[in-house]
Amino acid sequence: MSIEIPPGLTELLQGYTVEVLRHRPPDLLGFAADYFTRLRDARDQEAAAGARKGVNFDGEPMQTESNGEEEPGRDDEDSDSDFEPPVINRFNRRVSVCAEAFNPDEEEEDTEPRVVHPKTDEQRCRLQEACKDILLFKNLDQEQLSQVLDAMFERKVKPQEHVIDQGDDGDNFYVVERGLYDIFVTRDSQPRCVGRYDNHGSFGELALMYNTPRAATIVATTEGALWGLDRVTFRRIILKNNAKKRKTFELFIESVPLLKSLEVSERMKIVDVIGEKVYRDGERIISQGDKADSFYIVESGEVKILIKSKSWMCKHSRGCLAPAWTL
């Protein structure tokens, strides 16, 4: 008799085992019941969202890295609403993306042919300038960064051009070199402008990281220039790097009180998008009145918090510099 293992079973049991090892629950059966119920609910939610064509999440633009200016008439009612990352549902992935079975948690032989788009010196300079503050690139080593830069290609856009459409499969990650780009999220058939990229920033990472449809529509409102990175290179280098980052920062992120109530998978998504910023003694991190575009976790050092004329010192352990992790 030949036994055929149903597709998805190994992954399903592996996922459960990992959660058991992480949480060490006293009641394995109860834990299993909760775990699989949550998994099924997430799958059903994702299926429902897919049926409505497009991912159903909304909120502030992420990593827009814009200059903080608001467009008149923009709908800011929900500006404090939480951004919900897409549910990672390993058991209900879209077929077209599943074919690229890259698992960043496993060490893999790097045998993929490299993607290289030749560039002039002038293009390379512009590209380096555009990429210098991109958080997802911050933790790459020299070799990885140079492979990423080699693989990037220039894309010029015209006003009203849709760079990304919500609900599509993810093809590229984009870094803004110049131009303005509006971010629209459609919910209940109502497109809403939730933010804008203003001459810098990056977008298009979510669909590539989590194998989900595009979560927003990005429309150029001026002429502009973008640098694209193909899906395969993004996953091969950025996700592989993130897998290492997850291991390195698991304990650190667990120790942050604000994030304690999150699920492990949610904390890992935070690790995916944090990047290190090192500050010199006396350097200003944020100014009162600034638009809130990042959340900082102090990894080591001390930060001083000043509100108008009052001031107090907030001490943190280790070192005198203040490298912070920013989202």
Beta carbon nearer to ligand CMP, 19 or 205 = 205
Beta carbon nearer to ligand CMP, 57 or 325 = 57
Contact 219, 163 (CB under 8 A): yes
Please report how close the Cβ of residue 273 comes to ligand CMP at its closest, in angstroms.
Answer: 10
Please report how close the Cβ of residue 194 comes to ligand CMP at its closest, in angstroms.
Answer: 5
Please report how close the Cβ of residue 195 comes to ligand CMP at its closest, in angstroms.
Answer: 6
Taking the C-alpha atoms of residue 308 and residue 85, their distance in angstroms, rounded to an integer, is 35
Please report how close the Cβ of residue 80 comes to ligand CMP at its closest, in angstroms.
Answer: 13
CA distances for 323 relative to 42, 235, 270, angstroms: 36, 27, 17
Give 251: exposed, middle or buried? Use CB within 10 Å, 0-12, 13-18, 19+. Answer: exposed
Strands 224-230 and 153-157, sheet pairing: antiparallel
Q: The tokens of 237 are what? A: 């280098």
Beta carbon nearer to ligand CMP, 15 or 59 = 59
Beta carbon nearer to ligand CMP, 63 or 139 = 63
Taking the C-alpha atoms of residue 64 and residue 182, their distance in angstroms, rounded to an integer, is 10
Beta carbon nearer to ligand CMP, 25 or 59 = 59
Please report how close the Cβ of residue 142 comes to ligand CMP at its closest, in angstroms.
Answer: 26
Residues that bind ligand CMP (CB under 6 A): 57, 59-62, 83, 164, 170, 183, 185, 194-195, 203-207, 214-216, 218
3-state class of 137 per DSSP? Answer: helix
Task: Provide the 10 A C-beta neighbour count for residue 256.
Answer: 15
- Residue 150, H or E segment: helix 142-151
